[in-house]
Amino acid sequence: MSAPPSACPAAPSYAAVLRVPHARRTFATALVGRLSYGMVPLSLLLATQRATGSYAASGAVLSLYGAAVVFLTPARALLVDRHGARRALLPLAVAHGGLLCVLAALTWRTGAPVALTGGAAVLAGACAPPLGPTMRAVWSDLLADPDLLRRAFSLDGVAEELLFVSGPALVGVLVAWTHPASGLLLGALLLVAGTAAFVTSPAMTGPRPRSGGGGRRGGVRGLAAPVVVAAGTGLAISGVELLVLAHVGRDSGDTDLVPWVLGALSVGSALGGLANGAIDWRRPARYRLAGFAVALGLTIAASGLAPGVLTLAVAMACAGAFIAPALTTAYLLADESAPAGDRTRAGAWVNMAVNAGSSAGGLMTGALLGHLPLPLCFALTGATALASAGVALAGGSRTEPARA
């Protein structure tokens, strides 16, 4: 899966990234497919709750789906690296889309069997094609210039964040007019159509050559720093979401303000991601990664001292400014550490880490909230990002194998 490196423009910019041959088509079709991942979780949760009448059952089904998506991501990415995107992604997309249709059928009427629904959710999650890691590997093939590549990764990260905001909003529109399971059907359509268009792009020419020592025995070296920082960032993000709910409830009692405060976090992340791509950094990626993690941790810790909701929203926007840069740099460092034949899998490890951290963060923070003062909970949540920065710096003089 490679394309000829592009010529290096005189002034690297986001526009220059999209002017590279085949970049716009490949990126746009990948985003169509990735929009499904912003829609399916909420659709599955709402559809299962309506079909079973049980919040516990809907939460369990969603957890099973999410676990299968997250923890099998490196295995699916390995298929892409070994066999190429055209041979690996489309069968996964068809299987995933078909199973989403099965889930829609199971949850369309009340009385859905929970065990059968849960089993179908696991199978669907296990087949989810790794479009994000694959797209980032394609960026590396298309762009030989490191400044352009950094801008491409920043653009990709901001676009992905917008998808995960617009996906639930689209589900909300669907639910207002029809059954929640229709979101599963639309998600299946978007995924299959987007993946089919993605893999037929001229940028996808086959599997990359496997060379160097990193991929011989199934391990990708040098991933400790990006994986740990991604996990710490995921933990911090999901913890902050619960902490914001508690903070707003304590200060105003109006939880309707929570989406606006979290929206400030997303806006800050998008702006930070764009700024990160536009700045001509001179420090190595590992040190930038540690710096972003430190800044994120300190800002989250300080947010616990916000005296009101407006101040909290400003603090969240400041914290968000370091989220997209941290994750983008983690993906870049993983890409730099991997040989060409393992880039998809390297990115998939980072992707798995941030999602796994996000899944665990809410649980850990919820336990802390029941026993510790709110400002201390903010400080401990920020400490997870700080600790991950220490790992990034400590690993600077060595590389470690990551298991696949």
CA 330 to CA 312: how far, in whole Å? 27
CA 294 to CA 372: how far, in whole Å? 23
Closest CA to 105 of 164, 172, 173, 182: 182
Q: pLDDT at position 145, please?
A: 85
Q: Answer for the pair 225, 115: CB distance below 8 angstroms, yes or no.
A: no
Which residue stretches of the chain have pLDDT < 70? 1-11, 205-221, 251-255, 395-404
Q: What is the average pLDDT value for the chain, to the nearest integer?
A: 85
Q: Answer for the pair 160, 34: CB distance below 8 angstroms, yes or no.
A: yes
CA 39 to CA 174: how far, in whole Å? 10
Q: Answer for the pair 380, 368: CB distance below 8 angstroms, yes or no.
A: yes
The residues, ordered by sequence, that sit 6+ positions from 373 with a Cβ below 8 Å of its Cβ are none
Q: pLDDT at position 400, please?
A: 41
Q: Where are the alpha helices (DSSP H) in 127-145?
A: 131-142
CA 148 to CA 263: how far, in whole Å? 29
Q: pLDDT at position 209, please?
A: 55
Q: pLDDT at position 206, please?
A: 61
CA 244 to CA 261: how far, in whole Å? 7
Single pTM value for the model: 0.82
Q: pLDDT at position 315, please?
A: 94
